[in-house]
Amino acid sequence: MSENPTNATYVGRPLDRVDGRLKVTGGATYAHEHVEIPNTVHGYILGAAIAKGRIARIDTAEAENAPGVLHVMTHRNAPAQPDFGPPVTPTVPEVFTRARPMLSDDRVRFYDEPVALIVAETFEAARAAASLIQIRYETEPGRYDMEAHLAEAYAPPRTNAGFETDSAIGDFEGAFAAAEVKLDVSYTTPYQHHNPMEPHATTAVWSGDNLTIYTGAQTIANFRAGIANTLQLPLERVRIVSPFIGGGFGAKLIVHADTVLAALAARVVGRPVKIALTRQQMFANAGHRAKMKHDVRLGADRSGRLVATSHDVFSATSGFEEFCEQTAVFVRALYASETRRTRHRLIGLDTNRGEWMRSPGEAPGMLAFECAIDEMAEQLGLDPIEFRIRNEPTRDPERDVPFSTRNLVACMQEGAMRFGWEKRSSQPRAMRDGRFLVGYGMAAAMRPNYIGTTRARVRLSGNGQLTVQADMTDIGTGTYTILTQIAADATGLPPSAITVELGDSNFPRTAGSGGSWGAASSGSAVHNACLVLRDRIVAEARRADPSLKAEDAIFANGEIRWAGRGEPLGQLVGRLAPSGIEAEGQVERGDDYRNFSQHSYGAHFVEAGVDMDTGEIRIRRMLSTIGAGRILNQKTARSQVIGGMVWGIGAALMEESVLDPRYGHFVNHDLAEYHVPVNADVPSLDVVFLEEHDDKANVLGSKGIGELGVCGTGAAVANAIYNATGVRVREFPITLDKLLAGLA
């Protein structure tokens, strides 16, 4: 069978989002918007007013008698659920699918942990009744201050995604002691919260013994397994529906309180139950990025060659469930160094667990490490880009395998040329624009490239319409559009003839959206399914006309062609298989992931201005040069990177969740006090893609891009501020109080 003569007619184009019209007209239905479900009632979660202790007494009588209230659920009457299990970090994939019981006992493990669920005819009635519940707690002393317990840090059995807790190459201590130039610094990154535009919400509907969950889920299969294990149901009795998600960023990878409690309550009251977390509730019940201390030690010779590299990470975690972000793992593959050591340590506190937050590992880790690299370059008297180039590895430094592709140096050099890096002064405080001190900063970006086991189904009907089905989700990244483009190229059909259906556990199982593996995994499966479909179409045609040769078939322009003769695909299928032709395809991680080191790369450049009197920081412009294999859609890819760049501004300058060390609650638990960048904070952003086809990554040649934009971006901001002011702030975010002290 011949390939399409146009080969890549649609993949790579900046095609508009095929679901865009639905979203802007209100036709896209999100988790809380399923008004078509009859007899739905509302649940409201009441959270604990302490962070550690137990419920000594709870009186729900007044709430139960309140107008419109149908049921009040507490630990005294909640349906039986399995035990949560040991606190030790579970193996992959158990961390996603383990049972997560709610209201299962009288213990309070973190502030705002659910202690009651009120179900009523309206949301307002449920919320009002919650205020009538009287609870007496027995409070216990808690651990809330990470710094106060650093001496008790311990090594977990593994880090997130199954990476080894520690790694060591050579004698680091000996090499560091003998190094001609040394750097020994500590950075601190704060608690952060995801805050997607759509808060967590669930509508649960029972039909006999079968449960349907409408929610925002990044990974349908993990949600399905998590709720089935919690409710002790056979997997086939649980259906998850999540066609549209208003942002996830890792916060919607596992089931949370809204999903479990809605399912429990719906069965008890015999009606569909809808629950949405308030923005304030999400700060305790929807995951967060943990606070971390980063100890970075670098040793180099006078020529700028690293001879010793160490990154130790101390991270807060929950006392009842570990989460160890793989914060230093990227150091194992970023730069060459004769000796290298990375270590991860946890400090157990009385908070809810940390969770995956966009670019887990690289986002906080590169924020600290790429600032340290900048500091080392200054000590050596080297340009920051030149220092990085001198430590560019030819093979993966720890795994000793070749890179599938690696264009980090090209990203830095191309970015420097486009940004005008040659105008940068190596002397801080040397550039000025009126009252503003001006500085340039840069940082490298790297993110592992993954692929997950994924299946997809395609069906071509007699009217020429192709339907693509997978339980893959679109969290705003453009999945509907990208899969449309891939299917169009693989079948020769126009995008208008293709319908993509996602977010339903009745569809073939995928790896879902997360870890920047979504497009590559689902796209490869769709591509492969379309190739199987083409084979079946050819087989049907040859049954009708054995003289046709399979190798001569060409799929293009909505037709199948043999020796100059063409027939519309829909017409052929309608004539030979009126009920349509269906096929499935799959993809899974193969030997190329073991035999090659696979990453996406980039370089970020920032121009920052700092008012010399007030310390006001203004980001003036930013540029990111990105090497992520083949770009599937220029428009959606650019949006992904720009979103990451904005996250980098937030991480460097403003994002911080403040945990009260006395009472264990996040005090700035809303968007009025948890500051994120707004339009006035975001300057001109530019993105340049350095495309290359990585044939080791997947059949499409693409690499993950969704999280790459935030990797190192905050460090580029911090490095620009240092270049402008000569003030190195090592405790993020860089706020006025920290900067002004140095400016004075």
pLDDT of residue 240: 98
Buried b vs exposed e over 447-482: b needs ≥16 C-beta within 10 Å? bbbbbbebbbbbbbbbebbbbbbbbbbbbbbbbbbb
| Overall average pLDDT of the 426-430 stretch | 97
353 is written with which tokens? 């667990």
**CB atoms closer than 10 angstroms to residue 114:** 24
Does 696 have pLDDT greater than 70?
yes
pTM here is 0.97
Q: pLDDT tens digit string along 267-289?
A: 999 999 999 999 999 999 999 99
Please provide the distance, in angstroms rounded to a whole number, between the alpha carbons at the two ends of the chain.
72
pLDDT of residue 563: 83
> How far apart, in Å, are the Cα atoms of 422 and each of 413, 419, 438?
11, 9, 14
Does 7 have pLDDT greater than 70?
no
Report the distance separating Cα 742 and Cα 736, nearest Å: 10
DSSP 593: H
Between strands 201-207 and 114-120, the pairing is: unpaired
Which of helix, strand or coil describes residue 690?
coil
Does 246 have pLDDT greater than 70?
yes
DSSP 465: -
Q: What percent of the chain has pLDDT over 70?
A: 99
pLDDT band at 8 (very low <50, low <70, confident <90, very high): low
173 is written with which tokens? 């201590």
Q: Which residues are catalytic, by number?
A: 707
**Domains of the chain, with CATH numbers?**
20-28+452-588 (3.30.365.10), 34-140+201-247+252-285 (3.30.365.10), 292-450+594-743 (3.30.365.10)
pLDDT of residue 1: 54
What is the spatial order of strands in the sheet that 581-587 belongs to? Answer: 498-501, 466-469, 454-460, 581-587
Does 720 have pLDDT greater than 90?
yes
Respond yes or no on whether the N-terminal peptide bond of residue 733 is cis (omega within 30° of 0): yes
pLDDT of residue 473: 98
Q: pLDDT tens digit string along 70-88?
A: 999 999 999 999 998 888 7
Mean pLDDT of the chain: 96
> How far apart, in Å, are the Cα atoms of 621 and each of 34, 132, 562, 717?
42, 52, 54, 10
pLDDT of residue 2: 46
Report the distance separating Cα 72 and Cα 448, nearest Å: 46
Does 150 have pLDDT greater than 80?
yes
Q: pLDDT tens digit string along 554-588?
A: 999 999 999 888 999 999 999 999 999 999 999 99
pLDDT of residue 699: 97
pLDDT band at 4 (very low <50, low <70, confident <90, very high): very low
Does 612 have pLDDT greater than 70?
yes
CB 599 within 8 A of CB 676: no
Does 5 have pLDDT greater than 90?
no
Q: pLDDT tens digit string along 22-67?
A: 999 999 999 999 999 999 999 999 999 999 999 999 999 999 999 9
pLDDT band at 3 (very low <50, low <70, confident <90, very high): very low
Q: pLDDT tens digit string along 378-392?
A: 999 999 999 999 999
Report the distance separating Cα 264 and Cα 701, nearest Å: 44
